[in-house]
Amino acid sequence: MTTPEKKDKAEDLRVIGTARRRVDARAKVTGQTRFADDIALPRMAFCKLLRSPHAHARIRNINFSRALAHPGVYLVLTGKDLRIRYGVLPVSQDEQALCLDHVRHVGDPVAAVVAREELTALNALDLIDVDYEILPTISNPEEALATPTPRIHEYGDEGNIHKRVSLQFGDVEASFAESDEVFEDTFFYQGNTHLPIEQHAAVATRDPDGKLTIWSSTQTPHYLHRALARVLRMPAGHIRVIATPNGGGFGGKSDPFHHEIVISRAALILDRPVKIGLTREEVFYCHRGRHPVLMKFRTGVKKDGTITGMHLQTLIDGGAYGSYGVASTLYTGALQTTTYHIPRYKFQGCRTFTNKPPCGPKRGHGTVQPRFGQEVQIDKIAEKLNMDPAEFRLKNAVKPNSLTANFLELGTVGLPECIRQVVKVSGWNEKFRKLPEGRGVGLACSCYLTGAGLPINANAMPHSGVQLKLDRGGGVTLYCGTSEIGQGSDDVLAAIVAEVLGIDTFDIRVYTGDTDLGPVDLGSYSSRVTIMAGNAALQAAERVKSLLAEAVGIKLSVPTEQLRFADHYVYDVGATARRMSFRDAICLAESKFGTLGTVGSYTPPKSAALFPGGGVGPSPTYSYSAAVVEVEVSPETGWLTVSKVWIAHDIGRALNPPLARGQVEGSVYMGLGEALMEEMEYRRLPKKFSHALVHKFPSILEYKSPTSLDMPEIETVLVENPDPRGPFGAKEVGQGPLLPIIPAVANAVYDAVGVRVDESPVTPEKIVKALAEKKAGRAPRYGPKHFPAVNWGFTLFVPPPWEGGDGYALSDIRSAAHRAG
């Protein structure tokens, strides 16, 4: 790993930017991290869910009397016990903890058994008789468009269309007319899943005072808290959600889940703890992973490579429920403008329901698919214009602190530096179009949010809060609602506080993910924790520091601005011998001010995107990445090997460089999995059976993911140009570096053997098919050939900032243009 830009030495940071053991490392390497399934309580019972074997059916009747009579069974629950609908987004309250009368995908839960032993509960599931009336199923968006009835849900924009978006920022067709060339390409991005090694698990118990506590492997304790209060009709203040450290999340543990609600109800009824652990097959059927997306890009360019406009259409396979789908739909069109300047932009997106497990957010939420299309199309455009793809990208790169056509406010932009770095370290100029047949390099770039700028549940409150408590022994305790999912969020919070107070990260106790103990944090998603919880921690730490400084300043007769906190001391920078230990400083301040504690919070800046749909895309700032992938492809078999990956990531500042590098490499790894092999594939069972849509291989063995043998060498460059919006200048790193990998692989395959695979994953089979096309003299390509007709409805017109736009749609009464007539 290299860091090209040396940090300013004058800052003299002691903790931030140094390679440190993370605060929770010891627990992890000794097996003492307490994951949800490691929790066992006295009198604990076990729950199993009966799940639908049909992809679409009405439930006529459920008879569970035999199950209830089975020895060891305590309780059977059905949809009648949990009637209230919920869902993570306010606009998609379409789930039921147990389906009342309608199942929409294989794996939809219909009943729950709670028993003394897990095996007893499992055995009793066989004793529940469910009478289903099987309904026709929809397996993909084209079928959904062609089959408006029967509807999978009673809500949605039309028929089996869940959400439809049509937005236009400037007259794109006029731009195309003035372009030297307009490129039109269709791409398909296959769905895939998170595959965290930890299967979801949870334990719920009724507290001695009658309240409810649940421990769960969730990335979003706050949203689970809300869903539980809603469905159980309990005051939220009587519910305590504790997010246990997640054994991997990647977005898959961001929804409130059936099993969490079911065991909570069961624990309240039985007045004893109830545990559930999902099987791997159940985890596959819970899914909430990457949406399959069909895309059509039309991009206009001038001969000199200037982009004039872009029109993107996306058709999205949502699966059976809403989940984050409305946001996912908007995300497929939100960030196309954040890498290259696109003066006019039109986006149309359509998410349909299908009878498959619901899709949702996975690392790079909704933006991975269109980034693949955009970056492959750019490779095609650059080739046609006879330009180097790196040069094309540099020429069009967005400017820092600028506004995009769709009113996203960019912060620092490290994209050009990332491109220059990967071009340099990969030897791009010596390799591109110069390697022998069968070897190739591909370049791609990306951009990602540093935290969603708007909350899911509209309100004006902070997105994150931190509470600090200082005790007389010199200890500092930090409380925050964040969820540690392996990314290192506890260490980020400890590092920021340690830096400000001049202590060590191991002097700080970090209590996170507990709705009773810590102020609300919205959760570990959208790469929001470092900037939001980090800024909240920074504010809390600065506040308590000023209390300590005031007390110490008076005692030592030193102006507070001359005091420095470092190495467990508060000292006079002018005369370092004049000092006081951190512990004594606490006692002094406590004598003066009373018990010491401060809070900090963070609310993102107001967004400039005021049009409907503008809530998705804004972020306090954005990260940038560029990657070069080198591949070897066998022209005979299509066998594809990635030999090396070079990646540069604009992180603002790396708070703990080995952890930052780990996030980059983990993203590259996951990107390679998506690029090369991972896919959620379904098949229909024969009609004489159930005709159900089942997962082709709901097991880790058959859902291929890269192993230690498949990982190429990765050279990571962290580009550090601190962004004033982030704590100590930090931006996100957990998701962005995944995005350039998939298009870079596809572009490298083209460089190696001259064929385009416009569909993920890029498999040997597809390469061979494309090579056969090439040999037959047809277009050397494998990928979708058409984009179906979609009734997009009314298109909102929003003039871009440079055409007098004020962020509102023209038709909006709040728009100045509207009022001016």
Take residue 224 and report the two structure tokens written for it: 């689970």
Residues 6+ apart with CB under 8 A from 690: 53, 54, 55, 134
End-to-end CA distance of the chain: 57
CB of 664 to another protein, least distance (A): 9
Measured from the CB atom, the residue of 115 and 549 that comes closer to another protein is: 115
H and E: helices and strands count for the chain? 20, 31
Contact assessment for residue 129 and residue 305, using Cβ atoms and an 8 Å cutoff:
no
Please, which residue, 100 or 711, has the CB nearer to another protein? 711
Q: Which is nearer to another protein, 146 or 700 (CB)?
A: 700
State the minimum distance, in angstroms, from the CB of residue 569 to another protein.
26
Q: Minimum CB separation from another protein for residue 25, in Å?
A: 4
Residue whose tokens read 């895939």: 192
Query: What backbone torsions phi and psi does residue 115 show, to the nearest 5 degrees?
Result: -145, 175
Residues facing 781 on adjacent strands: 756
For the CA atoms of 534, 540, 541, 543, what is the dihedral angle to 10 degrees? 140
158: DSSP letter = B
Closest distance of CB 215 from another protein, Å: 13
Question: In this complex, which beta carbon is closest to another protein, that of residue 113 or of residue 588?
Answer: 113
> Between 245 and 604, whose beta carbon lies closer to another protein?
245
Nearer to another protein (CB atom), residue 89 or residue 645:
645
Shortest Å, Cβ 662 to another protein: 4
The residue (of 700 and 816) whose beta carbon lies closer to another protein is 700
Please report, as a single letter, which amino acid is at residue 592: K
Please tell me what DSSP assigns to residue 179: S
Smallest gap from Cβ 671 to another protein, in A, equals: 10
Could you check whether the bond before residue 800 is cis, i.e. omega within 30 degrees of 0?
no
State the nearest-atom distance from the C-beta of 690 to another protein, in Å: 24
Antiparallel, parallel or unpaired: β 781-782 and 756-757: parallel
Please give the Cα distance from 57 to 673 (Å, whole number).
34
Side-chain half-sphere CA neighbours of 154 within 13 A: 5
Beta carbon nearer to another protein, 29 or 575: 29
Q: What's 599-625 look like in SS3?
A: EEEECCCCCCCCCCCCCCCCCCCEEEE
Answer left, alpha or beta for residue 120, where phi above 0 means left and psi between -120 and 50 means alpha: alpha
Chain positions contacting another protein, by CB under 8 A: 19, 21-22, 24-35, 37-38, 40, 70-74, 115-117, 119-120, 123, 194-199, 245-250, 279-280, 485-488, 658-659, 661-662, 665-670, 699-701, 705, 707-709, 711, 713-714
Q: How far is 220 from 213, CA to CA, in rounded Å? A: 15
Least distance from C-beta 665 to another protein, angstroms?
A: 4
Choice between 183 and 697, CB closer to another protein: 697
Shortest Cβ distance from residue 675 to another protein (Å)?
13
CB of 651 to another protein, least distance (A): 15
d(C-alpha 42, C-alpha 45), whole Å: 9
- Shortest distance (Å) from residue 658 CB to another protein: 4
Under 8 Å between Cβ of 753 and 645: no
Give the C-alpha separation, 219 to 41, whole Å. 23
Cα 95 to Cα 97: distance, rounded to the nearest angstrom: 7
Whichever of 107 and 666 has its CB closer to another protein, that residue is: 666
Shorter beta-carbon distance to another protein: residue 92 or 487: 487
Task: Count other Cβ atoms within 10 Å, centred on residue 739.
Answer: 31
